[in-house]
């Protein structure tokens, strides 16, 4: 069986949530051995990340280089190509860094690449069966991956719940010397944090969140009227920002804001995992969508198959009626 | 600047409900409405805007069959200078690496400073751009949501990272960038525009013209293969409300109030 590694992302010495998940996935691929974590970086942050990884991994490979203080995928790729043994399986979280790193890394390792994996469906010799999704999560698919020359597997964050681990003693091995001088033709300059918008959606207990089902910019007003009646704020999914109907500061999701409301009204939102990743705190999730097969109905508490352009004004009227009665 | 944009024709997600076919081995494709992949459309628009700022030309390429010509026609109507169809039975069943290999051979036939792809297509793999860059040994950046062309020999690009933050990088040319949706506002293409380019010949190139080693592409070379499509067993899912619109609205209001959601 091929040796399994997990590349772990960390920020300021805090390892990513995916660290424990990747250890868990490695166990599903090969229950008889445990994965080796690889972490790159520099200074105290790197040492802190290594220490905390010993909770989930019996072996941690560390690569220290000043040029790796910020995770530039081109430099990390060079480091990994220097230290990974042939024909190994490397697990990586499918986030903005994994998307940057893994496809090119698989070429340089001459190994297979499978992206955004949600499940492990067994292994048969050199054939690893994995579960993915296509068409925005509307259908799933089994994929067969030939691992005879190794594989890079990008795993969807949150797809594998981590189990509590009980490791007795782990070891950190310093692999820095095996990595030569790293040079990149892409250089990190800075990170820009967006300016706060007029409304802070992370502070609201009720969100009227709108998606592509709104059809056009003018219909944002339907959501605004409802939000005004409810004392709520309007948030949105990515296609609404792409179409310039609302500001980026209103976007919920992995590339937008993380929100923790009490109530989340998903209006015309299909329910892509990147969007759902931004909804925390287990709110009451009410989904209105005219497509009965929309993935959002799999995760919502309450579902209504209806056109949001019709339903939103109806709900707004009901709220106003109730307020009118209460005012008497 | 000589710019190449790699595009793909996919089912239009805003127009279709995806269902399995009777055999369960594919999605039902007969009724699907196809169009250019959404992220690729943004990539083409970005290429046109860069060309109009700094000069040069834009070439669009796709791998597929006759049906895929329609997206190339659409890009010509948008204003690209050249469109090329790569088509060969030997390419059928290629995995991401196979597609990237074919594109690599095409790129080597020309001279491009900048190669753009959409960040991902309908399979959500987000792989071809990064693989193509590695095969060409060009630098690569994914999830690009702005491109600045103010200095020679390099670009300043912004990547979309977590929390709405933007990671700014400088990247040497030639390079490959995968373009995120929302980077610009793609221009509208009407039927009239498409009719105006209807007679422009679109060259079709196969394995021999490109010098593609057919053993390294196609189904035989694929390390990754889709076995089937399936609908996962339903989770408990949402409690569906089946009342009239008015009844449903009343119920929602009740539930929101019960959660303390009315201020």
Q: Is the dihedral of CA A158, B252, A138, B60 positive or negative?
A: negative
**Matching residue, tokens 């309908």:** B122
Name which of A41, A38, A101, A39 is nearest A65 in CA terms. A41
Residues A68 and A14 in one domain: yes
Distance from CA of A171 to the nearest CA of B (A): 31
Query: 3-state class of B204 per DSSP?
Result: strand
- Summarised one tens digit per residue, pLDDT across range A221-245 is 999 999 999 999 999 999 999 999 9
User: Mean pLDDT over all residues of chain A?
Assistant: 93
**Matching residue, tokens 């706060």:** A196
Residue A272 lies in a domain: yes
Cβ distance A143 to B224 less than 8 Å, yes or no, reads yes
Could you tell me if A185 lies within 8 Å of chain B, comparing CB atoms? yes
- Summarised one tens digit per residue, pLDDT across range A191-221 is 999 887 889 999 999 999 999 999 999 999 9
- Whether the CB-CB separation of B95 and B108 falls below 8 Å is answered with no
Residue A301 sits in which domain range?
A: 201-327
Q: What is the number of domains present in chain A?
A: 2
CATH number at residue A319: 3.40.50.1220
Residue B239 lies in a domain: no
Mutate to test the interface with A, among B38, B159, B252 (most CBs of A within 10 A): B252
Residue B248 lies in a domain: no
Average pLDDT along chain B, 263 residues, taken 10 residues at a time: 97 80 84 93 98 97 96 97 98 97 98 97 94 98 95 94 93 98 95 93 96 96 94 82 96 93 77
E strands, chain B, are: 2-6, 9-11, 34-36, 57-63, 82-86, 114-118, 140-151, 154-160, 166-172, 175-179, 204-205, 224-230, 239-240
* Peptide linkage before B174 cis (omega within 30 of 0): yes
Residues A14 and A154 in one domain: yes
Residue A194 lies in a domain: no
The number of angstroms, rounded, from the C-alpha of B228 to the middle of its chain's C-alpha atoms is 22
Separation CA A41–CA A64 (nearest Å): 5
Distance from CA of A304 to the nearest CA of B (A): 5
Pick from A141, A146, A265: which is nearest to B226 by CB? A141
Residue B55 sits in which domain range?
A: 2-221
Whether ipTM exceeds 0.90: yes
DSSP letter, residue A16: P
Residue A289 lies in a domain: yes
CATH number at residue A160: 3.40.50.620
Residues A106 and A221 in one domain: no
């Amino acid at each position: 069986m091929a040796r399994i590694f997990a590349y772990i992302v960390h920020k300021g010495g805090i390892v990513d949530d995916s660290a424990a998940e990747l250890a868990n996935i490695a166990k599903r691929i090969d229950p008889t051995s445990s994965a080796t974590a690889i972490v790159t970086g520099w200074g105290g942050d790197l040492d802190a990340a290594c220490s905390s990884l010993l909770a989930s991994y019996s072996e941690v490979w560390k690569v220290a280089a000043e040029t790796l203080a910020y995770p530039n995928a081109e430099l990390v790729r060079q480091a990994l190509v220097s230290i990974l043994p042939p024909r190994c399986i490397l697990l990586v979280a499918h986030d903005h860094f994994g998307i940057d790193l893994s496809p090119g890394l698989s070429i340089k390792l001459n190994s297979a690449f499978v992206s955004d994996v949600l499940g492990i469906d067994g292994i048969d010799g050199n054939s690893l069966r994995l579960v993915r999704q296509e068409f925005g999560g509307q259908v799933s698919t089994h994929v067969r991956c030939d691992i005879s020359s190794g594989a890079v597997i990008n795993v969807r964050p949150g797809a594998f719940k981590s189990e509590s681990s009980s490791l007795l003693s782990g070891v950190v091995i310093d692999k820095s010397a095996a990595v030569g001088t790293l040079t990149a033709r892409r250089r990190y300059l800075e990170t820009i944090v967006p300016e706060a918008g007029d409304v802070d959606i992370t502070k609201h207990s009720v969100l009227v969140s709108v998606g592509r089902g709104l059809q056009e910019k003018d219909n944002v007003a339907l959501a605004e009227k409802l939000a005004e009646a409810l004392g709520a704020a309007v948030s949105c999914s990515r296609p609404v920002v792409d179409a310039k109907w609302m500001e980026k500061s209103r976007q919920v999701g992995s590339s937008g804001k993380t929100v923790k409301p009490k109530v989340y009204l998903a209006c015309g939102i299909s329910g892509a995992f990147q969007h759902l990743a931004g909804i925390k705190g287990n709110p009451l999730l009410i989904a209105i969508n005219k497509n009965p097969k929309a993935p959002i109905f799999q995760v919502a508490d309450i579902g209504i198959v209806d056109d949001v352009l019709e339903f939103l004004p109806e709900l707004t009227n009901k709220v106003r009626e109730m307020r009118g009665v209460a005012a008497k | 600047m000589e710019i190449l944009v790699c595009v793909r024709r996919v089912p239009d997600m805003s127009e279709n409900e995806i269902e399995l076919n009777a055999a369960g081995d594919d999605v039902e494709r007969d009724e699907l409405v196809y169009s250019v992949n959404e992220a690729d459309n943004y990539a083409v628009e970005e290429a046109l805007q860069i060309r109009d700022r700094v000069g040069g030309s834009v070439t669009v390429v796709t791998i597929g069959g006759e049906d895929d010509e329609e997206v190339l026609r659409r890009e010509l109507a948008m204003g690209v200078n050249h469109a090329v169809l790569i088509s060969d039975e030997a390419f059928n069943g290629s995995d991401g690496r196979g597609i990237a290999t074919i594109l690599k051979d095409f790129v080597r036939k020309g001279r491009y400073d900048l190669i753009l792809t959409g960040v991902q297509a309908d399979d959500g793999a987000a792989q071809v751009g990064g693989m193509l860059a590695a095969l060409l040994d060009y630098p690569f950046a994914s999830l690009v949501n702005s491109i600045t062309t103010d200095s020679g020999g390099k670009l300043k690009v912004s990547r979309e990272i977590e929390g709405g933050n933007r990671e700014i990088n400088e990247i040497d040319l030639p390079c490959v960038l995968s373009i995120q949706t929302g980077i610009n506002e793609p221009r509208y293409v009407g039927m009239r525009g498409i009719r105006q380019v209807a007679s422009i010949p679109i060259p079709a190139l196969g394995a021999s013209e490109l010098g593609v080693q057919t053993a390294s592409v196609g189904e035989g070379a694929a390390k990754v293969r889709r076995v089937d499509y399936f609908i996962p067993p339903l989770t408990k899912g949402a409690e569906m409300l089946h009342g009239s619109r008015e009844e449903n609205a009343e119920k929602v209001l009740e539930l929101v109030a019960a959660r303390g959601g009315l201020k």
